[in-house]
Amino acid sequence: EAQVTQNPRYLITVTGKKLTVTCSQNMNHEYMSWYRQDPGLGLRQIYYSMNVEVTDKGDVPEGYKVSRKEKRNFPLILESPSPNQTSLYFCASSLSLGELFFGEGSRLTVL
């Protein structure tokens, strides 16, 4: 089954404790992206990657890192999480610049 898999789905952590949200797709998609969703703000892009070893900042990259060492994986790294990074995070992928396939989301709470 074609899918984008994110882990963990839910996480409660404390300020400053490094965490990684993994994202993996099994569709051989070149393009991958991370979004955060906050009430009233819709979707905001954090980082995106056009292909392996190619990443670019989105609209809200501060406090986040990503890597794209292989086509299927695109982890999101929070080196020192802060409460303002409490949000619902989505990973997405697409074959070209067409429709996106989204993961089920990762709800992060930073205390």
Partner 1 sequence: AQSVAQPEDQVNVAEGNPLTVKCTYSVSGNPYLFWYVQYPNRGLQFLLKYITGDNLVKGSYGFEAEFNKSQTSFHLKKPSALVSDSALYFCAVRPGWDSNYQLIWGAGTKLIIKP
* Shortest distance in whole angstroms from residue 16 CB to partner 1: 29
Distances from the Cα of 67 to the Cαs of 72, 73, 91, in angstroms?
Answer: 11, 8, 13
* Shortest distance in whole angstroms from residue 50 CB to partner 1: 6
Closer by beta carbon to partner 1, 63 or else 105: 105
* Shortest distance in whole angstroms from residue 17 CB to partner 1: 25
- Tokens in use for 76? 């999101």
Cα angle for residues 64, 69, 73 (degrees, 5° grid): 75
Among candidates 15, 46, 25, 1, which has minimal Cα distance to 100?
Answer: 25
Closer by beta carbon to partner 1, 1 or else 42: 42
Binding stretches for partner 1 (CB under 8 A): 4, 33, 40-45, 48, 50, 58, 90, 92, 97-105
